[in-house]
């Protein structure tokens, strides 16, 4: 020990400058909350996994709104206020941490969005809608990879991204409505909401058909059809008002 102390002292070089603190994580600018946060992230989550999730959600362009993509990112990192997370952080949430849908298990992120019986039924309905067989994966990152990977080409992958983000957002909204407003869970209505949001985001941001598949009969089925969407959301309202005008003119002539 004495020899080690001498070795340390021998390397010491006196200087005229005053002593000061130095933040090793950012020696140039000193301590910042961002540098401390990034260091904690790297300690608890491997950088490779962190960058992989970041690439999956943020670096892939999606037509979903920014707030929805940000929520999906938080969900993949298990940073959303589920009952399980609230309890782990000591926040008041009541003694019952069971899933608000099935009440059969703790409301963890994976259970709520994947393995809950009600959520699984919605997943199966969506899989039938897009014409894709589904096997529920063990994690949410795998669900995103499976959803996007089931289509070839950029348009197909973008379409699957829209549907996946729409599913995650809808499940969370239904969950909140169930907890705060004692809302009723309806699988068919939830599926229709996911379809409607997917259509709206697609029409608002995209210009081409993003997803297509081939069914068992060899014919091509599309998860989104741009021409069909234009007809439903633009042409039908015009035809509706034209019909009202024709009926009004006919009624006016009949009364005269």
pLDDT digits (tens, 9 = 90+) for 194-216: 999 988 888 876 554 444 444 44
pTM: 0.63
The pLDDT-based confidence of 238 (bands split at 50, 70, 90) is: low
Dist CA 224 CA 74 (whole Å):
27
Span 69-111, pLDDT tens digits: 889 988 988 889 999 888 888 776 656 789 989 988 899 999 9
Tell me: pLDDT of 228 over 60. no
Burial 86-120, CB ≥16 within 10 A → b, else e: ebeeeeebeeebebbbbeebebbbbbbbbbbebbe
181 has pLDDT over 90: yes
| Cα–Cα dist 2/236, whole Å | 90
| pLDDT tens digits for range 8-34 | 777 777 777 777 778 888 887 788 887
pLDDT > 50? residue 219: no
Q: How far is Cα of residue 181 from the mean position of the Cα atoms in its chain?
A: 23
Backbone phi, then psi, for 175, in 5-degree steps? -60, -45
Q: Cβ atoms within 10 A of the Cβ of 146, count? A: 16
Look over the chain and give the mean of its residue pLDDT values, rounded to a whole number.
Answer: 77
What's the CA gap between 31 and 22, in Å, rounded?
8
What ranges do the domains of the chain cover? 31-60, 63-224
Mean pLDDT along residues 127-135: 85
Cα–Cα distance between 98 and 83 in angstroms, integer? Answer: 7
pLDDT tens column, 47-77? 555 556 566 666 555 678 889 988 998 898 8
190, 174 contact by CB (below 8 A): yes
Say what the pLDDT of residue 45 is.
57
Provide mean pLDDT across the span 107-119: 94
């Amino acid at each position: 020990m004495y020899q080690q102390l001498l070795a340390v002292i021998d390397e010491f070089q006196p200087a005229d400058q005053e002593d000061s603190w130095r933040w090793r994580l950012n020696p140039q600018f000193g301590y910042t909350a961002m540098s401390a946060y990034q260091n904690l992230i790297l300690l608890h989550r491997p950088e490779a996994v962190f960058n992989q999730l970041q690439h999956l959600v943020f670096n892939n362009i999606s037509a979903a709104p920014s707030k929805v993509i940000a929520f999906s990112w938080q969900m993949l990192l298990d940073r959303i206020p589920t009952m399980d997370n609230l309890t782990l952080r000591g926040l008041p949430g009541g003694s019952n941490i069971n899933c608000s849908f099935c009440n059969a298990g703790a409301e963890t992120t994976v259970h709520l969005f994947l393995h809950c019986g009600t959520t699984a039924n919605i997943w199966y309905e969506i899989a039938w809608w897009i014409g894709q067989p589904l096997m529920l994966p063990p994690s949410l990152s795998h669900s995103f990879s499976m959803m996007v990977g089931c289509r070839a080409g950029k348009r197909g992958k973008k379409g699957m991204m829209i549907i996946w983000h729409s599913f995650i957002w809808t499940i969370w909204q239904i969950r909140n409505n169930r907890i705060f407003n004692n809302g009723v869970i309806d699988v068919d209505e939830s599926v229709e909401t996911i379809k409607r949001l997917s259509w709206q985001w697609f029409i608002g941001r995209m210009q081409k058909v993003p997803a297509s598949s081939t069914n068992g009969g060899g014919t091509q089925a599309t998860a989104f059809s741009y021409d069909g969407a234009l007809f439903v959301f633009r042409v039908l309202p015009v035809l509706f008002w034209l019909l009202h005008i024709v009926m009004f003119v006919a009624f006016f002539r009949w009364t005269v």
